[in-house]
């Protein structure tokens, strides 16, 4: 390590993002992370279980470590939630780590050494992945599933452990969430980051990725990834596998196998026995060849032979079906644009008419069109919330109970809202939540399980827009009589009314 590397190592700040569905291996990962010599500045564990969990994730009680909700939308979305949720502006790198890996004790020292001498043109750095194969020490050959997992050792830009600069992620909008599973989303991100002008490099740090237990039909289920290959082809062209350094698959042979089976069936129905027999023989030969290619390198025990024989007959049909479904689903796919998943409104002057320091619920009066506008967002599956400064509490003019009563009245008239975020501080308190600071927007996004980039903040003054921008969200200014002219001029986006603002949001939604 150079002298400069040693200096950078002492001050290099990084955050770790771990998407998880609550696997038992998460505890092993977090324990190995907690024991590192150079701990991360922040650790965000994104709980991506589909259902509201009955038990929260067990996260070590350490400064900067926390769990956030991902909403069960897949690892691409979960990673976006994670890196957008990093709060410390000193963080120079975000390291994505899967919940089923282990970090050697020297990992953090090797990480900062890898990153220390990289210039600003380098946007990402990949770890070396080691996959210990069960049974090798006893001389047992690996199974098909174990060999497939071992392929991660040669994978390029795999987010089992991959560090990215936040600026590189922002430049391309993060992970494309149309990839619903942990397959191809990392290759897609790497291609877009490189096309935006950044370089990607391989580091020398190492991680361990054990082989997870799997049932006999796992190889059939993973054929869903063929739909993701269709999306890759649509986004990156016919030559995407070569450009992304991905090994070619067996889909063309699967296509021939399915065609042979269909031809045999059609000929049999038409009474053309010889053609049917030839098609059946071709199908049988292709399936036998495929099965043997999977059996030969393996342990060749009874369980493996039966599993490979059965799945080799099914996989061609499954693979072709998912590829065709993906081609149809993504036939009009364009470049990734993060969708709007939540809209946060300022309260006074935006949702309801501004009554200065109002503590009386009976004085709450919605602005024209507010109820319909908010309901339209709900009807389109967009979550809604309120972010409001209430400095009257900090100034001693209102109590928190009075503010809560007014908020309850707003909920009665326009709600229920999915989140309420209130700053009770006076301006001189210097808090991190009072708009134009981003605290309220970050808190709302975290509670809703969305990334700030997926949030639009609608307000009537410049502080609302600046809070959105500071949080990484989009701001829309809806001016009224109290809005200053310079705030209107400075706003990147404006709307004539709350109705117009919602029209914009829904019209631009992918």
Task: Give the active site residues.
Answer: 346, 348
Structure-token pair, residue 510: 């992918």
Distance from C-alpha of 501 to C-alpha of 510, rounded to nearest angstrom = 16
Distance from C-alpha of 17 to C-alpha of 86, rounded to nearest angstrom = 9
CA angle at residue 112 from 108 to 118, to 5 degrees? 150
| Three-state SS at 320 | helix
CB 64: neighbour CB atoms within 10 A? 16
| Three-state SS at 75 | helix
Q: Residue 357 burial by CB count (10 A; 0-12/13-18/19+): exposed, middle or buried?
A: middle
- The answer to whether the bond into 55 is cis (omega within 30° of 0) is no
Contact, 340 vs 448, CB < 8 A?
no
Distance from C-alpha of 347 to C-alpha of 351, rounded to nearest angstrom = 5
- Provide the β-strand partners of residue 68: 46
CA-wise closest residue to 253 among 243, 261, 264, 245:
261
- Which helix (H) or strand (E) segment holds residue 242: the answer is helix 240-243
Contact, 391 vs 427, CB < 8 A?
yes
- The answer to whether the bond into 436 is cis (omega within 30° of 0) is yes
Between helix 462-471 and helix 439-448 the angle, nearest 10°, is: 60
Distance from C-alpha of 486 to C-alpha of 463, rounded to nearest angstrom = 12
């Amino acid at each position: 390590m150079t002298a400069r590397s040693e200096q950078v190592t002492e001050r290099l700040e990084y955050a770790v993002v771990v998407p998880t569905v609550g696997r038992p291996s998460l505890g092993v990962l977090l324990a190995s992370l907690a024991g590192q010599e150079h701990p991360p500045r922040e650790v965000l564990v994104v709980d991506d279980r589909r259902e509201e969990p009955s038990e929260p994730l067990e996260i070590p009680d350490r400064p900067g470590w926390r769990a956030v909700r991902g909403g069960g939308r897949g690892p691409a979305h979960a990673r976006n939630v994670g890196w957008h949720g990093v709060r410390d502006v000193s963080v120079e790198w975000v390291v994505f780590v899967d919940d089923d890996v282990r970090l050697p004790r020297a990992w953090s020292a090797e990480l900062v050494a890898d990153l220390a001498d990289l210039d600003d043109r380098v946007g990402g750095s990949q770890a070396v992945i080691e996959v210990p194969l069960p049974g090798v020490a006893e001389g047992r050959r690996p199974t098909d599933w174990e060999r497939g997992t071992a392929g991660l050792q040669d994978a390029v830009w795999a987010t089992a452990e991959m560090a990215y600069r936040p600026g590189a992620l922002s430049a391309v909008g993060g992970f494309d969430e149309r990839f619903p599973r942990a397959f191809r989303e990392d290759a897609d991100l790497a291609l877009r980051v490189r096309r935006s002008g950044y370089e990607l490099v391989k580091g020398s740090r190492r991680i361990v990725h054990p082989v997870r237990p799997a049932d006999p039909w796992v190889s059939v289920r993973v054929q869903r990834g063929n739909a993701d290959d269709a999306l890759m082809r649509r986004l990156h062209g016919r030559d995407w596998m070569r450009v992304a350094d991905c090994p070619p698959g067996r889909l063309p042979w699967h296509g021939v196998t399915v065609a042979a089976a269909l031809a045999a069936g059609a000929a049999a129905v038409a009474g053309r026995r010889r053609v049917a027999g030839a098609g059946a023989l071709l199908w049988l030969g292709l399936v036998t060849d495929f099965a043997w290619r999977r059996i030969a390198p393996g342990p060749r025990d009874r369980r493996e032979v039966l599993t490979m024989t059965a799945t080799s007959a099914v996989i061609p049909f499954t693979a072709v079906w998912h590829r065709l479904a993906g081609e149809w689903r993504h036939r009009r796919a364009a470049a990734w644009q993060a969708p709007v998943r939540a809209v946060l409104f300022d309260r006074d002057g935006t949702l309801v008419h501004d009554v200065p320091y109002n503590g009386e619920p009976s004085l709450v009066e919605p602005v024209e069109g507010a109820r319909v506008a908010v309901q339209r967002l709900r009807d389109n599956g967009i979550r809604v919330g309120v972010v409001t400064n209430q400095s009257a509490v900090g100034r001693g003019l209102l109590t928190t109970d009075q503010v809560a009563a007014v908020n309850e009245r707003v909920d009665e008239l326009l709600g229920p809202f999915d989140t309420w975020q209130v700053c009770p501080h006076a301006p001189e308190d210097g808090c991190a939540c009072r708009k134009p600071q981003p605290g309220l927007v970050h808190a709302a996004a975290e509670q809703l399980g969305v990334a700030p980039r997926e949030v639009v903040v609608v307000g009537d003054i410049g502080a609302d827009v600046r809070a959105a921008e500071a949080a990484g969200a989009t701001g829309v200014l809806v001016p009224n009589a109290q809005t200053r002219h310079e705030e209107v001029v400075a706003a990147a986006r404006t709307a004539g009314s709350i109705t117009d603002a919602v029209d914009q949001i829904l019209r631009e939604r992918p």
